[in-house]
Amino acid sequence: MLSTVVICLVALLASLLTFFSGFGLGTLLTPVFMLFFPVEVAIALTGVVHFFNGLFKVGLVGKYVNKQVLLLFGVPAILCSFAGALLLIHLSKLPHLYDYSIGNQSYHISLLKLILGPLLIAFALMDLLPTLKKITFNNNKLIIGGMLSGFFGGLSGHQGALRSAFLTKANLSKEAFVGTGTVIGTLIDFSRIFIYMQVIQQPQVIAEWKLLIWAIISATIGAFIGAKLLKKITLKFIQQTVGILLILVGICLGLGLL
């Protein structure tokens, strides 16, 4: 009962947050699932919730998608996600750079996290510092952004943060930013969901189908509330929210907390 309440509450709030930022649902929900399930099961359950939440959001804001950005950013992202996944297999065999504990919880600092953390912080400063806010990315940079987003998505699962960092500089309206990011993220989820099938089909995962449905419903409610609030917020608010969240995620990655 406790696990259902906690997971559903986090799913709702994280879905509401990620509706504007373009990332956060997987980042926040995976650690909560890990409190109650083994790591591989937690990742699989989060992946299913993330995928169905993405499908629902596409129905809400998919009409705002910028087709040019979708092609220039989304196609390279999907292709490079496979390269990142292959590299992950190699990096997963490397020892951690540093391990430490806080109470009964252990944390690990890896080379991957030390690379990705500062990168996210650098992108965040582009949204928060006045002298860097005027920077925009042309079509060539969007292709590079898609490659980086997809690559790190396959490598670490954090493709949403990098995607948002680039799309906020692509001269998109707030509706196009949310719609385009949602469609791209869902396409990447669709390609990744097959990787999780071996875990999803395990009896211990199938046994949690009720919890999974409640988590999907909660995330859907969060997305629905986000859609209602979209017209009431400004693009500046979205950019600042993305910037602050990028810094927090970057710091947590660097410290091994995520």
**Which tens digits make up the pLDDT trace of 135-177?**
666 667 889 888 988 887 776 666 666 787 788 778 888 889 8
Confidence of residue 115 (pLDDT cuts 50, 70, 90): confident
- What are the pLDDT digits (tens) for 33-62? 877 877 667 777 887 888 888 888 898 888
Q: What is the pLDDT of residue 217?
A: 93
pLDDT at res. 24 = 64
Q: 3-state class of 102 per DSSP?
A: strand
Q: Tell me: pLDDT of 181 over 80.
A: yes
Predicted local distance difference test score (pLDDT) of residue 218 = 92
Domain boundaries, the chain: 2-254
Q: Which residues of 159-197 are buried (b: 16+ CB within 10 A; e: fewer)?
A: bbbbbbbbbbbbebebbbbbbbbbbbbbbbbebbbeebe
Q: What is the pLDDT of residue 71?
A: 92
- Residue 4's nearest CA partner among 210, 211, 205 is 211
Q: What is the pLDDT of residue 21?
A: 65
Could you give the maximum distance between any two Cα atoms of the chain, in Å? 54
The pLDDT confidence band at residue 205, using thresholds 50, 70 and 90, is confident
Residue 199 has pLDDT above 80, yes or no: no
> Which has the minimum average pLDDT: 103-112, 148-157, 235-244?
235-244
pLDDT of 9 > 80? The answer is yes
pLDDT at 127: 58
